[in-house]
């Protein structure tokens, strides 16, 4: 199994890049795991308390579960990937049965901060977009798709997102084998990653 890690700050375009990469590749050969599915279970907290969580700190992620799931997939076993709700700030009761594939892509802002997870990646990719571009995209996306308003996004950006990005996420760029500039759509970089995957698929 070839495991590809794709990191980068919020709004840099990780999900978009992943979708572009897997588009046209056979479903049964390539699978995706999102770090968002592995936010800690916060069912013990009331909704108001959950909204105050720092979701940009490595502590917010259940890396033990993510690591265990990756290991299971590497061993050829299926996993039940949790499903996350950005509206409820919590995991839902659902899960997605995810089968091992020849190529597994793992994407998320913090995946390269964890040494054990990092070691599991055969290829490490960091998607870069400037912070103003990322903030604009995040604002539009969170308001349109994640049930947020302008004030919520900007407050979160100032209080946690920006400092956590600088402290934890940006430094993981140094671990990357490939850095994809993504201020604009980057079809050349996507094609290169697809070529690598196609070689693996034979």
Ligand X SMILES: Nc1ccn([C@@H]2O[C@H](COP(=O)(O)O)[C@@H](O)[C@H]2O)c(=O)n1
Ligand Y SMILES: Nc1ncnc2c1ncn2[C@@H]1O[C@H](COP(=O)(O)OP(=O)(O)O)[C@@H](O)[C@H]1O
**Which residues lie near ligand X (CB under 6 A)?**
10-11, 14-15, 36, 39, 55-56, 86, 89, 109, 156, 161
Q: How far is the CB of 168 from ligand X (least distance, A)?
A: 11
Binding at 36: pick from ligand X, ligand Y, none (beta carbon under 5-8 Å per type): ligand X
Distance in angstroms (rounded) separating the CA atoms of residues 53 and 42: 9
The radius of gyration of the chain's CA atoms, rounded to the nearest angstrom, is 16
Residues in the chain: 202
Distances 42 to 29, 39, 52, 160 between C-alpha atoms, Å: 33, 8, 11, 18
- In the region spanning residues 165 to 194, those forming contacts with ligand Y, defined by CB under 6 A, are 182, 184-185
Q: Which is nearer to ligand X, 28 or 48 (CB)?
A: 48
What whole-number distance in Å separates Cα of residue 142 and Cα of residue 146? 4
What would the two tokens of residue 141 be?
Answer: 């996306």
> Which residues from 96-155 bind ligand Y, rule CB under 6 A?
137, 141
Residue 58 carries which DSSP code?
G
Closest to ligand Y by CB, 8 vs 82, is: 8
Nearer Cβ to ligand Y (13/31): 13
- Phi then psi for residue 83, to 5 deg, are -115, 130
Within 1-30, the residues that bind ligand Y by CB under 6 A are 8, 10-16
Judged by CB, which is closer to ligand X: 72, or 133? 133
Parallel, antiparallel or unpaired: strands 79-85 and 90-98: antiparallel
> Residue 164 or 202: which CB sits closer to ligand X?
164
**Residue 120: φ, ψ to 5°:** -80, -10
CB of 162 to ligand Y, least distance (A): 15
The footprint of ligand Y (CB under 6 A) covers 8, 10-16, 137, 141, 182, 184-185
């Amino acid at each position: 199994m070839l495991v590809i890690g794709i990191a980068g700050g919020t709004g840099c375009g990780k999900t978009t890049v992943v979708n572009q990469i897997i588009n046209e590749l056979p479903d049964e050969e390539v699978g995706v795991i999102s770090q968002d599915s592995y936010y800690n279970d916060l069912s013990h907290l009331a909704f108001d308390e959950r909204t105050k969580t720092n979701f940009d700190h490595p502590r917010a992620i259940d890396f033990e579960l993510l690591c265990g799931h990756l290991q299971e997939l590497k061993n050829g076993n299926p996993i039940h990937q949790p499903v996350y709700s950005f509206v409820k700030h919590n995991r839902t009761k659902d899960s997605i049965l995810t089968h091992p594939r020849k190529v597994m892509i793992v994407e998320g802002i913090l995946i390269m901060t964890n040494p054990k997870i990092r070691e599991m990646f055969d290829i490490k990719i960091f998607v870069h977009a400037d912070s103003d571009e990322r903030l604009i995209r995040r604002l539009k996306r969170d308001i349109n798709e994640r049930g947020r308003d302008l004030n919520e996004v900007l407050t979160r950006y100032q209080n946690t997102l920006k400092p956590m990005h600088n402290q934890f996420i940006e430094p993981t760029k140094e671990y990357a084998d490939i850095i994809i500039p993504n201020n604009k759509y980057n079809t050349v970089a996507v094609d290169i990653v697809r070529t690598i995957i196609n070689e693996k698929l034979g």
